[in-house]
């Protein structure tokens, strides 16, 4: 019998091979040895469990052939027989490794009626959330084989938001159990074999533009190639903190080199002006936010009401009466809002009367008043970008309270429109961004002048106790 030799895994690969939860994420940066771990785990499972059915998925057919099929055929020569018609490797013990590519939703039709014991989604973020969920729905069977899904992944791609939610943010929805999810971060420096074979590879990653370097070398899930608001920082920039000699915790408390603030116990000062911004939605989510404006014109997103079912980009289908009843109730009962004058701005489309009473007129019946927002898209997005710029002290012109989950979930994941590169892709969950854009256009500011990086940063303390 032909002997199978398997090289020693590195520490992170070993953790991936030993993980036993239902959902296992592995990766987070380029060059972490992910595909090797997929092939190795598939071989070990096929040899250990007679009759087990395994599936390896990549986005395109060439990627599938070059990264898995050809390599496994060579490694398993004499141990498994490859069937090119059915795209599978069959072992003498009855185990099979199936191969599939999913470049578009129509490719999912090949999964009708099939089931697998273990599924590997290699470079999972290149698949959409719908594609991942459809494929993993095939994980079933009444046998005693382990039932697991392995996701190898890098920041970026159409599935970025889903993978980030379940493995990085660990935010789980109905039917998802946190105990079922394990994530093993693997960086290029963990891949000793690659470091020995290509010692200059890490230097190539270090030479990339900042956003690519952070995603591909450092495994930063808050920034990725194609991100529309790439300057948005959910946590303080570690490099800036190190240069200034301040800890990341202290920078976060002060709001330095980040756009997120912990909500103050008593809310914003009563002397600041309050605004409300609104974007209508029914089958898609509606978005309503309340903003405070300080004496320097800086915006603070302090509260939000987001009409989403919990499934991404699916609206709660509330009628206009229900939406504005909830908004009125919030403004009458929340201690930060009650008794305050609030100016409103909204999408001009809510004044459309083609169906009888307009949405704006419904709002007025509940004493929720708006002015039509300026809905020019490109100037509006530029105002959003201007708000995100940091001054020389690391302070932006806009903050988001950490309790505003809809903004923090959806806005960082928006990407450019491939056909109109100065605009964002409107097929995404962009309702919060639209409502934010109306607010920025209601209080426009000028861009900051480009500044050279000072040799030694001087830190202001605008939020000191």
Instruction: Tell whether the torsion through CA atoms of 377, 379, 380 and 381 is positive or negative.
Output: positive
At 220 the three-state DSSP class reads coil
For the record, the structure tokens of 263 come out as 């909500």
pLDDT reported for residue 464: 33
Predicted confidence pLDDT, tens digits, the chain (465 residues):
467 788 888 888 899 999 999 999 998 655 557 889 999 999 999 999 999 999 999 999 999 999 999 999 999 999 999 999 999 999 999 999 999 999 888 999 999 889 999 999 999 988 988 899 999 999 998 899 999 999 998 887 778 888 988 998 898 888 899 999 999 987 766 665 555 666 665 566 666 556 556 566 666 777 666 788 988 998 887 778 888 888 888 999 899 999 999 999 999 999 999 999 999 999 999 999 999 999 999 999 999 999 999 888 899 999 999 999 999 999 999 999 999 999 999 999 999 988 789 999 999 999 999 999 999 999 999 999 999 999 988 999 999 999 999 999 899 888 888 778 789 989 889 999 999 999 999 999 998 764 444 333 333 333 333
pLDDT at 455 (0 to 100): 39
- Radius of gyration for the chain, computed over Cα atoms and rounded to the nearest angstrom: 25
Q: Which of 41, 335, 24 is nearest to 152 (CA)?
A: 24
Q: Where do the domains of the chain lie, and which CATH numbers do they carry?
A: 11-206 (3.40.50.300), 260-442 (3.30.420.280)
Nearest one of 299, 228, 224, 277 to 431, comparing CA atoms: 277
46 contacts 91 by C-beta, under 8 angstroms:
yes
Rounded CA separation 440/376 (Å): 11
DSSP for 57-89, written as a single string: EESSHHHHIIIIIHHHHHHTTTT-EEETTTTEE
Coil vs helix vs strand at 317: coil
CB 273 within 8 A of CB 340: no
Token representation of residue 106: 């129509």
Nearest in space to 394 (alpha carbons), one of 302, 446, 441, 463: 463
- Cα–Cα distance, 241 to 226 (Å, whole number): 25
The pLDDT assigned to 218 comes to 63
For residues 351 and 362, what is the distance between their CA atoms, to the nearest angstrom? 10
CB distance 413 to 313 below 8 Å: no
Q: In the block, which residue shows the tokens 């990341």?
A: 248
- Position 189 scores a pLDDT of 66
Tell me the whole-structure pTM to 2 decimals.
Answer: 0.65
Q: Give CA–CA dist 369/204, Å, rounded.
A: 55
> In this structure, are residues 459 and 394 in contact, taking their beta carbons and an 8 Å threshold?
yes
**In Å, what is the CA distance from 253 to each residue of 31, 111, 239, 344?**
34, 49, 17, 30
Within 314-457, residue ranges assigned H as helices are 320-333, 359-365, 377-388, 405-410, 431-442
User: What is the Cα–Cα distance from 120 to 19, expressed in whole angstroms?
Assistant: 14
């Amino acid at each position: 019998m032909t002997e199978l030799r398997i090289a020693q895994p590195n520490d992170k690969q070993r953790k991936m091979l030993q993980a036993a939860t239902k959902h296992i994420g592995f990766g987070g940066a380029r060059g972490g040895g992910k595909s090797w771990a997929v092939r190795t785990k598939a071989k070990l499972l096929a040899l250990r469990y007679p009759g087990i059915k395994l599936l390896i998925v990549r986005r395109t057919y060439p990627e599938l052939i070059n990264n898995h099929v050809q390599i496994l055929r060579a490694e398993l020569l004499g141990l498994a027989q490859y069937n090119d018609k059915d795209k599978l490797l069959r072992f003498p013990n009855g185990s099979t490794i199936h191969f599939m590519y999913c470049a578009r939703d129509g490719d999912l039709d090949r999964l009708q009626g099939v089931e697998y014991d273990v599924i590997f989604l290699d470079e999972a973020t290149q698949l959409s959330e719908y594609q991942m969920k459809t494929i993993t729905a095939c994980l079933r069977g009444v046998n005693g084989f382990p039932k697991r899904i392995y996701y190898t992944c890098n920041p970026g791609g159409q599935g970025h938001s889903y993978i980030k939610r379940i493995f990085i943010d660990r935010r789980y929805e109905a039917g998802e159990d946190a105990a079922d999810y394990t994530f093993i971060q693997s960086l290029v420096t963990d891949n000793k074999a690659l470091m020995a074979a290509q010692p200059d590879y890490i230097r190539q990653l270090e030479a990339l533009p900042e956003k690519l370097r952070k995603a591909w070398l450092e495994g930063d899930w808050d920034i990725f190639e194609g991100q529309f608001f790439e300057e948005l920082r959910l946590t303080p920039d570690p490099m800036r903190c190190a240069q200034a000699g301040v800890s990341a915790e202290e920078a976060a408390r002060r709001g330095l080199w980040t756009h997120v603030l912990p909500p103050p116990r008593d809310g914003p000062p009563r002397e600041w002006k309050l605004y409300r911004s609104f974007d209508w939605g029914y089958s898609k989510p509606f978005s309503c936010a309340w903003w405070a404006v300080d004496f320097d014109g800086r915006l603070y997103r302090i509260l939000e009401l987001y009409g989403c079912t919990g499934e991404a980009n699916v609206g709660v289908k509330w009628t206009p009466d229900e939406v504005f009843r909830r908004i009125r109730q919030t403004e009458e009962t929340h201690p930060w809002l009650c008794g305050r004058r609030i100016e409103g701005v909204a999408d001009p489309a809510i004044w459309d009367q083609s169906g009888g009473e307009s949405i704006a007129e419904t709002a007025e019946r509940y004493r929720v008043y708006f002015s039509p927002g300026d809905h020019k898209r490109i100037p509006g997005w530029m105002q959003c970008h201007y708000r995100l710029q940091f001054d020389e002290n690391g302070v932006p012109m806009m903050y988001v309270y950490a309790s505003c989950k809809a903004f923090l979930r959806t806005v960082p994941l928006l990407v450019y429109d491939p056909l109109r590169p100065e605009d964002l892709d409107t097929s995404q969950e962009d309702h919060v961004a639209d409502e934010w854009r109306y607010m920025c256009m209601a209080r426009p500011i000028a861009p900051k002048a480009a500044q050279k990086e000072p040799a030694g940063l001087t830190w202001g303390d605008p939020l000191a106790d």
